[in-house]
Amino acid sequence: GENVEQHPSTLSVQEGDSAVIKCTYSDSASNYFPWYKQELGKRPQLIIDIRSNVGEKKDQRIAVTLNKTAKHFSLHITETQPEDSAVYFCAANGNTGNQFYFGTGTSLTVIP
Amino acid sequence: GAVVSQHPSRVICKSGTSVKIECRSLDFQATTMFWYRQFPKQSLMLMATSNEGSKATYEQGVEKDKFLINHASLTLSTLTVTSAHPEDSSFYICSAFSGGDKNIQYFGAGTRLSVL
């Protein structure tokens, strides 16, 4: 099955700085890579996703890049704000196409 | 986005009792739903895939007789934790594929289970 690794596990940045979270995956059949934001005790919320036919996608302060050859994808948050503080999970859909395999999560803290 | 409702949000029960958790897609039909378990400060671990009208597919290491899943309709899947024990205490979250885009999963709000 798919194996998704995520780094770093914790990340602290000053407000206004950028944050980068990186994930790698093992199954070359994966073609969909979502990123979820989860606040404490709440449901994961989809913040951005990318499909394997593109290399980059941007939505305001959030961007995701994908390198299919190297099997890694990254989340970039610019101009971070305190409300960006949360746990972020990457995921890949593996060869079944339906199931999601999640990374171990990154706890992001934005310091005011 | 699509709405997934999960109930109850919190349950406390005695050891040995069974607990049922419901997951509903409110504004779309979901032929496939997923059940995850999440320990504190850890990732979401897929427990099983719930398919409407057929048996659930369990991930390796998940006891199907312990975690009973029933997907009786296109909008409802239930997870029953049978004979719960303290080690079953966890945060359980369901998700469902939206009707518009097969690959997008929308999550329920989760159920915090505490077994005394």
pLDDT digits (tens, 9 = 90+) for B71-101: 888 899 999 999 999 999 999 999 998 655 5
The pLDDT, as a whole number, for residue B99 is 55
Q: How far apart are CA A31 and CA A48, in angstroms?
A: 14
| Sequential DSSP letters for B47-67 | EEEEETTSPPEEPTT--TTTE
From the list B42, B46, B93, which residue is nearest A99 (CB)? Answer: B46
Q: How far apart are CA B107 and CA A75, in angstroms?
A: 20
- For residue B112, the chain A residues in CB contact (below 8 A) are 41
- A105 to chain B: closest CA residue: B43
Residues 6+ apart with CB under 8 A from B61: none
CA B60 to chain centroid, in Å, comes to: 16
- For residue A100, the chain B residues in CB contact (below 8 A) are 34, 46, 95, 105
pLDDT single digits (tens) B20-55: 999 999 988 888 899 999 988 888 998 999 888 888
Supply B35's token pair: 């059940």
Q: Which of A3, A43, A90, A101 to mutate to test the interface with B (most CBs of B within 10 A)?
A: A43
Strand (E) or helix (H) holding B96: strand B90-97
The pLDDT, as a whole number, for residue A99 is 81
B8 shares contact with chain A (CB less than 8 Å): no
B56 shares contact with chain A (CB less than 8 Å): no
Left, alpha or beta for B31 (phi > 0: left; psi -120 to 50: alpha)?
alpha
